[in-house]
Amino acid sequence: MVLTEVSERFEPDSALYLEDGRSMTVEDARPDRRWLLVKFRELADRTAAERLQGAYLFVDAAAVADVPEGSYWPHQLEGCEVLTEDGRSLGVITEVVLGVANDICVARSGEDEVLIPALKDVVVSVDLDARRVVVREMPGLTVPDSG
């Protein structure tokens, strides 16, 4: 499955990286139904390629495009602490679930989990330098529903 909208990432001689940091050089790529078949110079044969099936490929941070003001890449938000406007910690963002209507930030604190919709009515501010996201108190979301 292709998770990028930047098709140039798979042009010959492009560098991609595995999670362990190993560099992979695209030799060739072609679509096949809903998949993209990619051949890498570093993989000698199909058996070597099959060992990487399901692995994620990454690009160098310098190759990541800037996003519009007020938008963030999921990896930028992961690890940020989520606080309510009055300073109560809801946990740390451990993942961002991409949605059709809006994305959802998953904040965890121990066994507790809070799902925070990435909406302007909910998210008050994002400070990437301070690794902090401030959200509004919302019954049923950040505080138990009193009904």
User: What pTM, to 2 d.p., does this model score?
Assistant: 0.67
| φ and ψ of 14, to 5 deg | -70, 145
Per-residue pLDDT tens digits for 76-125: 999 999 999 999 999 999 999 988 899 999 999 999 999 999 999 999 99
CB 24 within 8 A of CB 17: yes
- 110 by Cβ neighbours in 10 Å (0-12 / 13-18 / 19+) ranks as exposed
Model confidence at 15, pLDDT cuts 50, 70, 90, reads very high
134 pLDDT more than 90: yes
